[in-house]
Amino acid sequence: MLFNLLMYVFMAVMIVRIISMNAQRKKNFRTTELLRNVNDSAMFNEIADRLEQENQKDIVFLNELKVFRLWEQAMNRRYDAFRKSLEEINLNDYISEGRKGMEVNEVAFFYLLHTIPNIFYGQEDEEMRKLVAEKAETVREKLSNQMIWMIYEANEAMYDGSPEKAVPLYEKILDGDYEGIAYGKSMISVYKKICAVMLAWYYKDRDEEKFNEFKGDLEAFNQMNVGRRWIRNLGIEMSDEEEAAEETESEETSEEEPAEEEPAETESEEKE
């Protein structure tokens, strides 16, 4: 009897996991379809409108969709639309209390706090970047112990010309010294890539030997579309061979990375 009961429990757990995995695959497919068309505002918004209608009950996805729209508007310099969309977003909707404590939608915050400010830096538009910073202040207290927030503040310090406020954090995270800092487990590799690239940018004109230590990280990040844009926005020029590889890849792949290479939604956890 006990064995049969355990088998039923095991089967129930497996069924729940399969359902969860299928739901995540469906979500990844939706996101990939949307992000592939980011450079075409009309097509992007046509897909976004359709996805919004098809997923009225998926509040998490609908909230992420609002941030994806912001990202497209920033990419295509649709600043009036961006201001309006940003004003309508309530960032507290992306933070909730779960069984393990505070849960943060790191997909949404990755685009809002990391990717979009990087775009505006590349566009040399400090006004728009500061507009995002003002919005971010509304959740500073809630996110202050989150890695995604700490790296955001470090990036802003770099953009503002104060690397002394950022470099120690980047190095600390790359060294694995982040005990007590909350982060989504599947996000840590993304965060480390960003830290490495930002350090490469810092050392580029300061210390050639240190810069070369991060060349492998630059090349790896450059293979991802989101990473390629990030590097270009920093003004880092890759070699001719790498640029040629980029162009070939861009012709053969979608505009954005496959869903499994995009940051995945996770619960924030503290390193034990």
Q: Which residues contact 58 (CB under 8 A, 6 or more apart)?
A: none
* Per-residue pLDDT reduced to its tens digit, 133-166: 999 999 999 999 999 999 999 999 999 999 999 9
Residue 133 lies in a domain: yes
φ/ψ (deg, to 5) at 246 = -60, -50
39-43, 61-65, 215-219, 254-258: which has the minimum mean pLDDT?
Answer: 254-258
On whether the CB atoms of residues 197 and 160 are closer than 8 A, the answer is: no
Total structural domains in the chain? 1
End-to-end CA distance of the chain: 37
Residue 47 lies in a domain: no
Interatomic CA distance for residues 38 and 256, integer angstroms: 8
175: containing domain? 77-270
Residue 145 lies in a domain: yes
At 222, list the tokens. 């450059």
Residue 33 lies in a domain: no
67-76, 187-196, 257-266: which has the minimum mean pLDDT?
Answer: 257-266
Interatomic CA distance for residues 74 and 109, integer angstroms: 15
Residue 123 lies in a domain: yes
Residue 136 lies in a domain: yes
Residue 183 lies in a domain: yes
Q: Where are the alpha helices (DSSP H) in the chain?
A: 2-35, 41-54, 59-75, 79-88, 106-109, 116-122, 126-136, 140-143, 147-159, 167-174, 188-203, 208-213, 215-222, 225-233, 240-252
Interatomic CA distance for residues 57 and 42, integer angstroms: 25
Residue 105 lies in a domain: yes
Whole-model pTM? 0.80
Question: Would the pLDDT of 239 be above 90?
Answer: no
